[in-house]
Structure formats: C-alpha cells, structure tokens
C-alpha cells in the first residue's frame, strides 16, 4: 500500500500530471462560466454526468473494492454500457422515422441535433472529465505522454467545443458507437483482475471474439467511415473551426485505434501462449 502511494506521488511530480491537470481545471472553469454567466442551462447534463460517475466510483469503492484500477474499470464499464445503449436508442429511433440517406446527409449531421443526442453527449463529456480526474489522482496511466490521458484530452476538447457551438452533435454521437467495443475491453480487464486468465476457456474465447469483432466494426471501421464522410463533404462545411477540428479529432482517434489494435493483437497472442506454456 505504501509502495502504491509513493508510485502515485511520483507520478504527480511529472510534467504529464501538471499539464493534463491544468487543462482539466481550465476546462472546468470554462464549463461553469458558460452555465453560470452565459445561462447555458442545456449544459447541465454535463455536470450531472460528472457527478453520476463520481458517485458510482464512491459506491464501488465503498461496497465492492478499494483498488483504484478495479473501481475505475467498473465505472468505465458502466459508462460504456449506458452510452452504447443510448447511441443505439437514438439511431434506432431515427431509422424508424427517417430514410437512411436522410439521416446521414451532411446538414443532418452538422446543423441539426437528433432527440436526446445533445444530453447524451453532455453526459459522456462529463464522464470523460471524471475519468481524467480519477486517473490523474490515482496515477492510473503510464508513459511520458500517456495515450489514455491524451485520448480524453482530445475528446473533451472536441466534445465541449461542439456543445458550446451546438454543431456536429450527430457526428459525435456516431463516434460514440465505439463504446460497444469498450464494453469488452473493460470486461476483459475485470476478468483478468478476477484471476480468470485461461485463454482457451469457452467464455474467454467468446469474449475475445466479441472484443475483436466490435473493435473492427464498431471502432475501427466506423471511425474510418466517419473520416471518409468528413473528407467527402469537406466543401459543404462553412468556413470556420468545425472541419479542421473534426478532421484533427478523427485523425487522433484513428491513430489511437491503430495502437489499440496492435495492443489487442499482442494481448490475444500472449494469452494463447500462456495457455500453451502451462499445458506443456
């Protein structure tokens, strides 16, 4: 326990901690300014999202486990499940009453907002702020430039600016379909922390199949298609920050997806090799 505390304290002395904590504080000041001084009450679900997931963290820490990584993973699993259900609900509702081509038409994705989409995006944005804070406080990251903190930094920037300007909300809802894959990422982490590491068991094989399938279709392919759509409709965007910010955000997401795919493949191979070693 003392070793863990020293490890966290050491991380709090790094440049990464100060940079990402400073940007998070600046983000929080900006949000409160918009709500309190500009009367942007539609942003209140963002505060609700942050408080809801912070409360979930407290409940998990109080009644299940005090391990920061386990608690963080459980709350992340909750977010992925709720967000996936929200995105699927929004899309099904739209498909039930509109033509597919109409739904994915440029003006629909950029200038209009589907019912519940704004609130869903606010709540997810609140989660990413909570998760960034939790990881910083408990040192749940590694590396000189931690990819997970960079991922949240990009998301908070893109999501918040879109919410402030009330544009590209539907585009961002489409990007959140990747949370279907995040469910199985978090399930795998919980399973391994519970000591279930037999790479050849049927349940683990099913989990890996769903993990890989959702990575390919819900994360990798969906983000590539969104990027292609942005490039194809580039001339339809008005002059401003929307297109450059969208392209920057998707470029970052696609790059992180490549690294995530490599990590997944290596993890899959390691689990299989571990089983073969034990078997021999």
pLDDT tens figures, 8-22: 777 777 788 999 999
How high is the pLDDT of residue 71?
A: 96
Tell whether the model's pLDDT for residue 280 goes beyond 60.
Answer: no
Tell whether the model's pLDDT for residue 276 goes beyond 70.
Answer: no
Q: Between the CA of residue 30 and those of 19, 77, 130, 156, 276, what are the distances in Å?
A: 17, 28, 16, 12, 53
pTM beyond 0.75, yes or no: yes
How high is the pLDDT of residue 11?
A: 78
Q: Between the CA of residue 129 and those of 10, 150, 262, 276, what are the distances in Å?
A: 22, 12, 26, 41
How high is the pLDDT of residue 2?
A: 55
CA-CA distance, 112 to 90, in Å (whole number)? 14
Secondary structure tally for the chain: helices H, strands E: 13, 0
Contacts of 87 (CB under 8 A, 6+ apart): 120, 173, 174, 176, 177, 179
CA-CA distance, 26 to 147, in Å (whole number)? 20
* Cβ 116 vs Cβ 89: under 8 Å: yes
pLDDT one-digit tens code per residue, 134-165: 999 999 998 788 888 988 998 999 999 999 99
DSSP 8-class letter at 218: I
| Segment 50-65 mean pLDDT | 96
Task: Tell which residue, 182, 176, 260, has the closest CA to residue 226.
Answer: 176
What angle is formed at CA 155 by the lines to CA 127 and CA 132, rounded to 5 degrees? 45
Tell whether the model's pLDDT for residue 198 goes beyond 80.
Answer: no
| Segment 172-185 mean pLDDT | 96
Tell me what percent of the residues of the chain surpass a pLDDT of 70.
Answer: 94
Tell whether the model's pLDDT for residue 133 goes beyond 80.
Answer: yes
- Longest distance between any two alpha carbons in the chain, whole Å: 67
| Segment 101-126 mean pLDDT | 94
Tell whether the model's pLDDT for residue 233 goes beyond 90.
Answer: yes
Measured in degrees and rounded to the nearest 5, phi and psi for residue 141 equal -155, 165
CA-CA distance, 247 to 253, in Å (whole number)? 10
CA-CA distance, 103 to 97, in Å (whole number)? 10
pLDDT one-digit tens code per residue, 61-89: 999 999 999 999 999 999 999 999 999 99
How high is the pLDDT of residue 199?
A: 65
Q: Between the CA of residue 279 and those of 64, 200, 272, what are the distances in Å?
A: 34, 11, 11
Please name the residue that has the structure tokens 């819900």: 218
CA-CA distance, 95 to 102, in Å (whole number)? 10
How high is the pLDDT of residue 144?
A: 81
CA-CA distance, 97 to 207, in Å (whole number)? 34
CA-CA distance, 11 to 9, in Å (whole number)? 5
How high is the pLDDT of residue 1?
A: 56
Tell whether the model's pLDDT for residue 278 goes beyond 80.
Answer: no
How high is the pLDDT of residue 200?
A: 72
Task: Tell which residue, 263, 223, 54, has the closest CA to residue 142.
Answer: 263
What does the block give as tokens for 167?
A: 């544009």
Please name the residue that has the structure tokens 């099904």: 92
Mean predicted lDDT score pLDDT of the chain = 91
Q: Between the CA of residue 233 and those of 161, 182, 212, 229, what are the distances in Å?
A: 20, 29, 30, 6
CA-CA distance, 253 to 246, in Å (whole number)? 10
């Amino acid at each position: 326990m003392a070793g863990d505390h020293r490890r966290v304290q050491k991380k709090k002395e790094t440049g990464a901690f100060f940079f990402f904590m400073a940007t998070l504080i600046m983000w929080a000041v900006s949000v409160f300014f918009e709500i309190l001084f500009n009367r942007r009450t539609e942003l209140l679900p963002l505060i609700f999202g942050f408080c809801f997931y912070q409360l979930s963290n407290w409940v998990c820490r109080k009644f299940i486990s005090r391990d920061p990584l386990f608690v963080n993973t459980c709350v992340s699993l909750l977010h992925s499940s709720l967000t996936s259900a929200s995105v699927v609900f929004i899309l099904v509702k739209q498909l039930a009453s509109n033509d597919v081509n109409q739904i994915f038409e440029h003006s629909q994705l950029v200038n209009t907002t589907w019912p519940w989409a704004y609130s869903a995006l606010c709540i997810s944005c609140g989660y990413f702020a909570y998760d960034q804070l939790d990881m910083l406080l408990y040192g749940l990251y590694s590396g000189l430039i931690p990819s997970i903190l960079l991922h949240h930094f990009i998301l908070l920037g893109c999501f918040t600016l879109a919410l402030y300007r009330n544009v590209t909300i539907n585009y961002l809802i489409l990007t959140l379909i990747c949370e279907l894959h995040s469910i199985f990422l978090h399930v795998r982490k919980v399973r391994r922390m519970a000591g279930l590491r037999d790479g050849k068991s049927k349940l683990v094989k099913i989990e890996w199949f769903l993990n890989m399938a959702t990575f390919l279709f819900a994360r990798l392919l969906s983000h590539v298609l969104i990027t292609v759509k942005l490039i194809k409709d580039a001339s339809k965007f008005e002059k401003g920050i929307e297109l450059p910010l969208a392209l920057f955000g998707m470029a970052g997401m696609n790059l992180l997806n490549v690294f995530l795919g490599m990590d997944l493949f290596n993890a899959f191979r390691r689990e299989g090799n571990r089983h073969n070693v034990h078997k021999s």
